Amino acid sequence: MLEILSLIRQDGDPSWCRSVPNWERGPWLETLLGLRRARNNERPRIISSHLPLHLFPRAFFRSKAKV
């Protein structure tokens, strides 16, 4: 899924996918390092997570995020 979203974000250009590691393109939300990386990434952001839905912050559901 990360590869597909990365390609969509770059209009099909695979050079970004090949040059930037997965953990930088789609950092894990549930790790401190991942959260810091996600906040610093330019928009639109790609964020990875295995958190159960009920553990997401309530603000997430009021946002315009696409899941």
**Segments making up each domain of the chain, as ranges:** 1-62
Provide the pLDDT for residue 65.
85
Say whether 50 is catalytic. yes
Provide the pLDDT for residue 57.
82
Provide the pLDDT for residue 29.
87
Alpha helices in the chain (DSSP H): 2-9, 15-19, 22-25, 32-40, 58-62
Q: Which of 50, 54, 62, 64 is catalytic?
A: 50
* Residue scoring higher pLDDT (67 or 38): 38
Provide the pLDDT for residue 15.
96
> What is the value of pTM for the model shown?
0.76
Tally: H helices and E strands in the chain: 5, 0
